[in-house]
Chains A and B, each alone.
Chain A
Amino acid sequence: MGTRRYLFTKVMQAFFTLVFVVCFNFFLFRILPGDPARILARNKLQPAEAVAEMVRDFGLDQPLFPGQFVNYIGDTVRGNFGISYKFHRPVTEVIQQRFWRTVLLLGVSTLIFTVLGILIGIWGAWRRGSAFDIGSHTFSLIGYSMPEFWLGLLLLIMFAVIIPIFPVGGITTTSPEYTGLRAIYDVAGHMVLPTLTLVLAYIGQYAIVMRSSLLDVLGEDYVQTARAKGLRDVHVRRRHAVPNALLPTVTLIALNLGFLVGGAITVETVFSWQGLGLLEYEALRTPDYPLLQGLFILFSVAVIAANLIADLLYGYLDPRVRVA
């Protein structure tokens, strides 16, 4: 029954965080200094009636409480974030169109850097002090200090311009247009550099955390017990050390998700990968407030959901938290 209570607690926490984010989003755009109408109209040379119309569209002529707030909640729940200034289409529609492209890029990258990062960390810890260990540790530190988009720029210049192996941007080649298997191959080709950028940028963190937590675990008594029982080193590592060392790594994955979203924004921009990240960039350059608002909610929800999954995964891996 400890498990059920743990599950319930975590889901409830996620829910309340979500509620907070939704309310926070409301205040972000309305209660900050400055007349909202002016904010909307800034940088745009708009005649007075157009501004007045925007005010009405945005519901700003209503009192803040309860009028605007209630409308806002209602809209948000229904997924209505208004009309995008830039695209002149409903925000939800714009987001939907680009959604899967980002999922593809982030999904593949995350899979690669998580798995590889963990493996490198394990190997580095097991062969502590070796050339591999020192090398990978240094590489990780440098990767941690590097803005991901800069790495993207470098890779782009290196492998798309100076040595033109990969395309300079976009998701697909526009002319000629490919179909079927060639289309998939085409997308894959476009995906290589942005994926490589994200992988190189984030793999270091996982390697470092895994390595240090495995080093800590290797000093624990139960590892000694396992060896004394006659297990081979491989099994000691795999069955006793790593499962315990994975725990901080899972926590890190959860903590990092927020930054991963940021990485997606800048990397998609550099590679003109028309996903949600590039969309955010385009929205902020306009500035397209309805779109910004919708994206903000979406990103926050994604991170909250991913955090919840990470919490549940942690609960599965570590029986101690289920009782606590």
Chain B
Amino acid sequence: MSLLSVRDLTVSYKLQSGEVPAVRGVNFDIEKGEVLGLAGESGCGKSTIASAILRLLPEGTKVGGEVLLENENILEMKPGKLRAVRWTEASIIFQGAMHALNPVKRIGDQIAEPILIHQQADEKEAMVRVGGLLEEVGLPQRRLRDYPHELSGGQKQRVMIAMALACNPSLVIADEPTTALDVMVQAQVLKLLKELQRDLGLAMLFITHDLSVLAEVSDRLAIMYAGRIVEQGPAEPVFTDPKHPYTRALAGAFPAIGDAQYRMKPSGLGGDPPDPQNIPSGCSFHPRCPVVVAECSDTDPILYPAGESRSAACLLVRQPAGASTTSEVPGD
């Protein structure tokens, strides 16, 4: 039984202009201690998934499907149970720690808060725990008396990580944890996350638009486009031998420093991600696809098997070797 099982997740926002489908049927599993990387451009719905898992979306948002955490469906939990589960079983490291910390409270209090809320310790013990957590993320203990504005971007992110670990969750959702940081700091924070994940045996959902980051950190990868997963599989094969044209473009878009060949290979992708209210017919990627064929504009591909534990939602993947059946690949 997987730690986290997402089944047919759909999320639609209600705007003045109508309903906007941000997530259109997503399936994936995360095992205990496994890191699943979720990649895609802005607007593809990955951050929405992060919020959806713990039911943090704004009121009025339509959510369908199931989110099974330890086999219990979060989407149907009663409020009391939901609050108890939040942070103790799964926590989030939010995008942009600049604003995710309360500016008028000391960070020590903010880290201790979930510990006290979930009654895992009394005040004194909680502060001791906080000190320990700060050290784990590489900050001196005395910093717990500081206010967020007294910390640098990288330090704030470390505080967010410490806070996410406060109640010993089994799953940590990291939503673009390094995006807003300088490159040097990015590397440090990434290293920290890797170590913590390994030492504590955490399961992680690592969300980012930077595929090269994921290649280092994840066990498995899932690539998202226009609200759906278009490719998934073990990290290395997906990165080095992508089956979906979009993945190929993403993988090529991020230069590896020192890769002399990169400058010679044209890569990158023209056009913009589709407007969620105006998703193209057939395969949502076909207007930008470099290997598009006629069928692509009227047939909507599902995830076809593409190798060992791999799948990709591309009609061209379906074709080879005659053994193509349009059988659905469950997200295993």
Q: Which residues of A contact B (CB under 8 A)?
A: 220-222, 224-232, 235, 240, 243-244, 317-320, 323
Contact = CB atoms under 8 A, between A and B. Distances in A.
B104 A230 contact: no
A228 B91 contact: yes
Contact of A224 (B85, B100, B150): B100
Contacts of A235: 117
B103 A320 contact: yes
24 contacts: A220-B99, A221-B94, A221-B96, A221-B100, A222-B101, A222-B103, A224-B51, A224-B100, A225-B92, A225-B94, A226-B102, A226-B113, A228-B94, A229-B86, A229-B91, A230-B84, A230-B85, A231-B117, A244-B102, A318-B103, A319-B103, A319-B147, A320-B104, A323-B150
B5 interface: no
Contact of A319 (B54, B92, B99, B104): B104
A228 B102 contact: no
Of A222, A224, A231, A318, most B-chain CB atoms within 10 Å: A222
B87 interface: yes
Interface in B232-278: none
Contact of B118 (A220, A221, A230): A230
B198 interface: no
A323 B103 contact: no
Interface string B60-95: 000000000000000000000001111110011010
Contacts of B102: 222, 225-226, 240, 244
Contacts of A230: 83-88, 114, 117-118
Interface residues of B, number: 28
Interface string B123-151: 00000000000000000000000010110
A231 B118 CA distance: 9
Closest 7 CB pairs between A and B?
A: A230-B86, A221-B99, A221-B100, A229-B114, A222-B102, A230-B83, A319-B147
B88 A318 contact: no
Given A222-B103, A229-B117, A319-B104, 14 more contacts: A222-B99, A222-B101, A225-B102, A228-B87, A229-B113, A229-B114, A230-B83, A231-B83, A240-B102, A243-B104, A244-B104, A318-B103, A319-B103, A319-B149
A232 B82 CA distance: 10
Of A224, A225, A227, A231, most B-chain CB atoms within 10 Å: A225
Interface of A is mostly: helix
A220 B104 CA distance: 13
A227 B56 contact: yes
Interface string B1-17: 00000000000000000
Nearest to A318: B104
Contact of B100 (A225, A231, A319): A225
Nearest to B54: A228
A194 B84 CA distance: 51
B75 to A, nearest CB: 16
Nearest to A319: B147
B83 A224 contact: no
A107 to B, nearest CB: 28
A244 B103 contact: yes
Contacts of B105: 240, 243
Contacts of A229: 86-87, 91, 113-114, 117, 163
B55 to A, nearest CB: 9
Contacts of A231: 83, 113, 117
Contact of B86 (A222, A228, A317, A318): A228
Contacts of B100: 221-222, 224-225
Contacts of A317: 104
A224 B84 contact: no
Nearest to A247: B104
Contacts of B101: 222, 225
A229 B88 CA distance: 8
A294 B98 CA distance: 51
B116 to A, nearest CB: 10
A224 B93 CA distance: 11
